Amino acid sequence: MKKRGLAWCLAAILLLSVFSFGVQADAAELVILYENDVHCAIEGYAKLSAMKKELAQTVPYVGLVSSGDFVQGSSLGAVSQGEYIVNTMNLVGYDAFTLGNHEFDYKLPRLQELTALMNTKPVCCNFGKIGEDASLFQPYTIVSYGETDIAYIGVTTPDTITSSSPIQFMDEQGNYIYTFHGADLYQTVQNTIDAAVAKGADYVIALTHLGTESVYEQWSAQALIANTAGLDVVLDGHSHSVVEALTVADKNGDGVLLSSTGTKFQYIGQLTLSGGKFTTRLVATEVYEAEDPAVVDYIAAINQEYGKLGNRKIGESKVDLTTVDENGQRIIRNRETNLGDLCADAYRVVMGADIGLQNGGGIRADMGAGDVTFNDILSVFPFNNNVCVVEATGQQIVDMLELGVVNYPNEDGTFQQVSGITFAINGEIPSPVVLDENLMFVKVQGERRVSDVKVLDKTTRTYLPIDLAKTYTVASHSYLLLEQGGGATMFKNAKVVKNDGVLDVEVLEQYIVAHLGGVIGEEYAHAKGRIVTQKAQFPSVEESEPKGENPKTGESAVIFVSGGLLLLSAAWLVVSRRKEQ
């Protein structure tokens, strides 16, 4: 499948008031609070609950919804495998929520266990077993607010089949038995819209985890709106975008209101229905001061419960270990970093392998100089991945490196941080990687971007050119080596040498304590130069933000900002393929 880097907006109006705060609900018949991509930023729930209760004093009806990615993102989520977050959401009280791709990180059986604990059940219309009409979760729910019936439809990005662990969606023979309906997403959603309207819904709101930028164009929130009819509002997540109000034309030319709150409670969204018309605004969470005491107390109890484990000191670091450059821009997904080196070294050394691989998307936090606690390394590795070792040929290894730079110099979660191996990347060569319809690796066809691959010789301690026919041992996590995470099918039939159930955080702890003597020293002050980047123009922080002129195409995009009227003549947003883990 050819991947493209453009996501487009139609007939767009953007209202951005980043300094807005407080509760405004004059003449409102209904206010629906919304959030997305909380990623275990649990303290925000106390403010969300307080806002909900405050609004209920003046507004006839108040609702609360989420667009997914709540159970993963910190050590608190990993320790409880999502249960702490679900319990907190139960306490706050939700009317509806959909599933993000990270709800599948603890695997489908665990998600089903969490669902059983949820007071409100998730909605997701596009996930189910292949060959079966019914979705695995309820496709929509209708909530009555007085005389107004609102249908909430759930949509999860089809990229989940790759960005989460692909093997959980397969049978024992490696055949897919589940689908996110990537090939017929529009029709699947349209069928759900029609069903909700037939059931008597007055309005239809889609809770989507699709993304508005840095995602696959055909699965973006804008593309979904443009190819369906009947939606009134789309509350989106996945790309961590901050969008207060964007109007996108649907299939019939009618305007659909689109909004997204960023990530980790940057904002709380307020969707207001008044006089038959919806409006949205974003409240900056940091300036909203009220907190629900009951939620605050529960969070304190959680912190006390898992604090002993999280606060246990395992060593110290003399240097800052980072995922970003000197300007604070994330580079872990397109360049080598010292933290990436440390993680890959831990795999290789502790597991006794020739090569260590760690995908950049799986490293989720920095580690500052000073004491290193278990909580610190659990924040780096929050996925609870099992570590394993396989035998792989040099050819399979260079194919994996090629897959990792498929979007280079743009970010890609499958970009590999490495140990025991070095290589160069030429960003001027188009990616020769061929993927199937599920975004899984098929082959390399054409001139390669990756070159000069060398492997560390354990005897001479020198790097020698990789032998494509030779077998090497590769250490990484099961997500990559056994579960085809990120589309890594090249390891599908690789011989498993070690798979004893040891977790990534355990390996990192053992490396720091046993192999570094409890001290991460100056040898990790900087990246070690294992990945040489050639002829690459990396996107800047400014280029990643929508502006009046697209930095890639130069097409004008004039927008509403803080209520000032400007016209949007063309709203092309440059994006790239994004893999979360």
Write the pLDDT tens digit of every residue in 546-568.
222 222 222 222 222 223 222 22
Question: How far apart are the C-alpha atoms of 443 and 120, rounded to whole Å?
Answer: 43
Question: How far apart are the C-alpha atoms of 153 and 224, rounded to whole Å?
Answer: 13
329 versus 541: which is more confidently predicted?
329
What is residue 221's three-state secondary structure? helix
Comparing 7-11, 38-42, 185-189, 288-292, the range with the smallest average pLDDT is 7-11
291 versus 554: which is more confidently predicted?
291
pLDDT of amino acid 27 = 62
Whether pLDDT at 211 is above 60:
yes
HEC letters along 65-131: EECCCCCCCCHHHHHHCCHHHHHHHHHHCCCEEECCHHHHCCCHHHHHHHHHHCCCCCECCCCEECC
Whether pLDDT at 147 is above 90:
yes
What's the whole-number mean pLDDT along residues 481-496? 93
Contact 151, 201 (CB under 8 A): yes
The confidence band for 81, taking pLDDT boundaries of 50, 70 and 90, is confident
Domains in the chain with CATH codes: 8-301 (3.60.21.10), 315-534 (3.90.780.10)
Compute the mean pLDDT over every residue in the chain, rounded to the nearest whole number.
87
Give one word for 146, left, alpha or beta, with left for phi > 0 and alpha for psi -120 to 50: left
Question: How far apart are the C-alpha atoms of 309 and 181, rounded to whole Å?
Answer: 40
Give the pair of three-digit tokens for residue 419. 């140990």
What's the whole-number mean pLDDT along residues 192-198? 98
Give the pair of three-digit tokens for residue 429. 């060569």
- Sequence-separated (6 or more) residues with CB below 8 Å from residue 483: 165, 166, 167, 168
Give the pair of three-digit tokens for residue 423. 């290589």
Contact 268, 33 (CB under 8 A): yes
Which H or E run includes 143? strand 140-145
Amino acid letter, 431: S
Q: Does the bond joining 539 to the residue before it have cis omega, within 30 degrees of 0?
A: no
The confidence band for 215, taking pLDDT boundaries of 50, 70 and 90, is confident
Whether pLDDT at 420 is above 70:
yes
Contact 330, 410 (CB under 8 A): no
CA distances in angstroms from 369 to 27, 381, 524, listed in the order given: 52, 18, 11
Contact 94, 64 (CB under 8 A): yes
pLDDT of amino acid 295 = 98
What's the whole-number mean pLDDT along residues 60-86? 91
The confidence band for 15, taking pLDDT boundaries of 50, 70 and 90, is very low
Whether pLDDT at 121 is above 80:
yes
- Cα angle, residue 438 at apex, residues 183 and 121 outer, rounded to 5°: 70
pLDDT of amino acid 76 = 81
pLDDT of amino acid 93 = 98
Which H or E run includes 393? strand 387-393
CA distances in angstroms from 451 to 150, 440, 534, listed in the order given: 55, 22, 10
Whether pLDDT at 84 is above 80:
yes
Contact 441, 399 (CB under 8 A): yes
Contact 143, 95 (CB under 8 A): yes
- Cα angle, residue 377 at apex, residues 367 and 419 outer, rounded to 5°: 80
What's the whole-number mean pLDDT along residues 85-105? 96
Treating both helix axes as pointing N-terminal to C-terminal, what angle do 293-310 and 44-55 enclose, rounded to 10 degrees? 170
pLDDT of amino acid 170 = 93
What's the whole-number mean pLDDT along residues 380-385? 86
Q: What is the end-to-end Cα distance of the chain in Å, rounded?
A: 20
For the sheet with 355-359, list strands across it.
Answer: 416-419, 355-359, 471-477, 387-393, 495-498
pLDDT of amino acid 535 = 63
Among residues 408, 401, 444, which one has the least CA distance to residue 426? 408
Whether pLDDT at 580 is above 70:
no
Helices then strands, each counted (H, E), the chain: 13, 29
Strands (E) across 290-386 are located at 313-317, 355-359, 370-373
pLDDT of amino acid 184 = 96
Helix, strand, coil in percent for the chain, rounding step 5 = 25, 30, 45
pLDDT of amino acid 105 = 87
What's the whole-number mean pLDDT along residues 368-383? 92
The confidence band for 417, taking pLDDT boundaries of 50, 70 and 90, is very high
pLDDT of amino acid 74 = 78
Annotate 465-479 with b (16+ C-beta within 10 A) or e (fewer): ebeeeebbbbbbbbb
Contact 507, 386 (CB under 8 A): no
pLDDT of amino acid 565 = 24
Q: What sign does the CA torsion over 456, 460, 461, 464 have? A: negative
CA distances in angstroms from 507 to 345, 472, 520, listed in the order given: 10, 20, 15
Among residues 423, 414, 540, 543, which one has the least CA distance to residue 479? 414
Contact 435, 1 (CB under 8 A): yes
Comparing 214-218, 321-325, 424-428, the range with the smallest average pLDDT is 214-218
Give the pair of three-digit tokens for residue 513. 């304590």
Q: Does the bond joining 166 to the residue before it have cis omega, within 30 degrees of 0?
A: no
The confidence band for 99, taking pLDDT boundaries of 50, 70 and 90, is very high
The structure's pTM equals: 0.72
Longest CA–CA separation in the chain, Å: 78
Contact 92, 85 (CB under 8 A): no
Comparing 316-325, 417-426, 499-508, 515-524, the range with the smallest average pLDDT is 499-508
Amino acid letter, 489: T
